[in-house]
Copies of this chain bind each other. A is one copy, B any other.
């Protein structure tokens, strides 16, 4: 009840206080560096990595930062903001490779790194569905497009090529990360039976491994597909296309 918990509130004396030196914490207790958008994003990515997108909550995020939930709204307008920022953040991990004389190597390498970044954060593909216009994404897209331009593409051809490659990675990462979420969700035993049934119903698909969870040579399939798309999308490839 009393304002001061240290002593019974019998009689007020100036000597009651032991002085600054014995006070456990400075009165302005700073538990941690001040909140900032950057710290929020970092904590969000950590939470997403460990617990998945469904577990990311403003309240959990706040408690991880030792802050009241409503404090976040000083730095961020909405939960979707946090998600957009977290998504763009992980593309910072996609190192932009040093430009080599070979535009094709440059483009391929960027795409490959793009893919591994998404697979490192399996919640990321699930966040696609909102425009990705963050600085990290745009910088990498710009690098990709510049590499493709060096191949001689321009105008609509360049646009087509950039989109084709970007769409390919995004799709590939999405379908692959999908599997990752499912067996972490311990569909293990029960899902196995369901898969067996599916395989019997779709023999063609199953023979080609389309119904199998991801395995070791997924990235070789990805690399070969990437190669094929690069071939098809390249200046000569576009010009030799069957259709208009």
In the complex, whether A229 has a CB less than 8 A from a CB of chain B is yes
How many protomers of this protein does the assembly include?
2
Expressed in whole angstroms, the Cα–Cα distance for A169 and B104 within the complex equals 23
In the complex, whether A12 has a CB less than 8 A from a CB of chain B is no
Contact assessment for B229 and A241 in the assembled complex, using a CB-CB cutoff below 8 Å? no
- The one of B130, B155, B205 that contacts A145, using a Cβ cutoff of 8 Å: B205
Contact assessment for A221 and B160 in the assembled complex, using a CB-CB cutoff below 8 Å? yes
Interface residue ranges of A134-172 to B (CB < 8 Å) = 138, 141-142, 145-146, 149, 155-156, 158-164, 166-172
Q: Which of chain B's residues have a CB closer than 8 A to the CB of A198?
A: 133, 138
In the complex, whether A30 has a CB less than 8 A from a CB of chain B is no
In the complex, whether A240 has a CB less than 8 A from a CB of chain B is yes
In the complex, whether A209 has a CB less than 8 A from a CB of chain B is yes
Question: A13-21, A61-69, A176-184: which one contacts chain B?
Answer: A176-184
Min CB distance, A91 to chain B, in Å? 14
Given A142-B204, A171-B168, answer yes or no on A221-B163 (Cβ-Cβ < 8 Å): yes
In the complex, whether A225 has a CB less than 8 A from a CB of chain B is yes
Interface residue ranges of A190-244 to B (CB < 8 Å) = 198, 201-202, 204-205, 208-211, 221-225, 227-233, 237-238, 240-243
Contact assessment for B159 and A210 in the assembled complex, using a CB-CB cutoff below 8 Å? yes
In the complex, whether A55 has a CB less than 8 A from a CB of chain B is no
Q: Which of chain B's residues have a CB closer than 8 A to the CB of A132?
A: 175, 178
- The one of B142, B178, B227, B241 that contacts A242, using a Cβ cutoff of 8 Å: B227
Contact assessment for B208 and A227 in the assembled complex, using a CB-CB cutoff below 8 Å? no
Contact assessment for B177 and A129 in the assembled complex, using a CB-CB cutoff below 8 Å? yes
Q: Which of chain B's residues have a CB closer than 8 A to the CB of A142?
A: 202, 204-205
Contact assessment for A164 and B229 in the assembled complex, using a CB-CB cutoff below 8 Å? yes
- The one of B131, B182, B202 that contacts A138, using a Cβ cutoff of 8 Å: B202
Min CB distance, A179 to chain B, in Å? 6
